[in-house]
Amino acid sequence: MSTKICAITGAGGWVGGCVARHFRGHGWEVRGLTRDAGFTLGGAVPSLAGVHTLVHCAWDFAPLRWEEIEAVNVEGSRRLLVAAREAGVERLVFISTMSAFIGCCSLYGRAKLAAEAAAHAHGALVLRPGLVYGAGAGGMFGRLQTQVRSGRLVPLVGGGSRLCLVHEEDLCAFIRHFAEDDGPAPREAITAAHPQAWTFRAILEALAVCEGRKIAFVPLPWRLVWLALKMAEAVGLRLAFRSDSLVSLVNQNPEPDFSAAARCGLECRPFAASARG
């Protein structure tokens, strides 16, 4: 049998890179759709001929206004999914976020919801991962690790916000099982995370224990930090962390639904039991 091909948008990022390593480790050929390979979300769609599974992880955080976000990310995702179906790609996976829910406050969450609708229309598996962690983590979890390692005083923004977490191996294994199956995708978004929610403070404290460090927190009002980020964006500064990302983090879904995950057999290890790894 010929080796199956999995195309992954955003394979140069933290989550996309985890998916790429996992699929390669299980005998798949991986085609990374990244900026270095000439792929940009919202731009021309590359050829997907011969691809069996498409995992769409990419997201462009550069646009700040809704009109731009919609044109690049929502419409770009829709065009990608249309092209995948036209090319005969059998399995489609869209990586959304737990920040996407009815009534969400952030533009990021609203845009992901809109892209979810397009993904469902094309028979894709829609996953809403929690905070993704694991060895050598990047993304938000990697930033939290860096905060703990960089000094004794750790800024704490939105310390009361509660986040659910998912280990990258659990997330990637579920995606691969779907790719290797032939059943239809669920018609609802799947929350991919362990149900236990952790505050930012508790996550940082757990990381400090793992690192063998003693830390002290410097609480910062999130609205004040948000205002500073907005002012920086207004004068054209491109920051690694955006004001809308902060809105997304401090306004998580108060009642996430884990029932679809249970029906699909998605099991996520608890963060406390695996933090030392």
Residue 27 has what pLDDT? 96
Q: Which of 110, 75, 117 is nearest to 94 (CA)?
A: 117
Q: Residue 254: what are its φ and ψ, rounded to 5°?
A: -70, -20
Instruction: Give the tokens for residue 167.
Output: 């280990």
Distance (Å, whole) CA 3 – CA 67: 41
Structural domains in the chain, CATH included, are 5-274 (3.40.50.720)
pLDDT at 160: 76
Q: Cβ of 182: how many Cβ atoms within 10 Å?
A: 7
Q: What pLDDT does residue 275 have?
A: 52
- Prediction pTM value: 0.94
* Ranges of residues in the chain whose predicted pLDDT is under 70: 1, 273-277
Q: Give just the sign of the alpha carbon dihedral 23, 86, 73, 107.
A: negative
Q: How far is CA 238 from CA 63, 108, 139, 208, 235, in A?
A: 10, 17, 17, 30, 9
> What pLDDT sits at residue 240?
82
Q: At residue 109, what is the residue type? A: G
Please tell me the distance from the alpha carbon of residue 225 to that of residue 239, in angstroms, as a whole number: 13
Q: What are phi and psi of 133, to 5 degrees?
A: -130, 165
pLDDT at res. 238: 86
Give the C-alpha separation, 133 to 123, whole Å. Answer: 28
- The burial class, CB within 10 Å (0-12 / 13-18 / 19+), for 8 is buried
Which amino acid makes up residue 8? I
Q: 30-63: per-residue pLDDT in tens?
A: 999 999 989 999 999 999 999 999 999 999 999 9
pLDDT reported for residue 259: 95
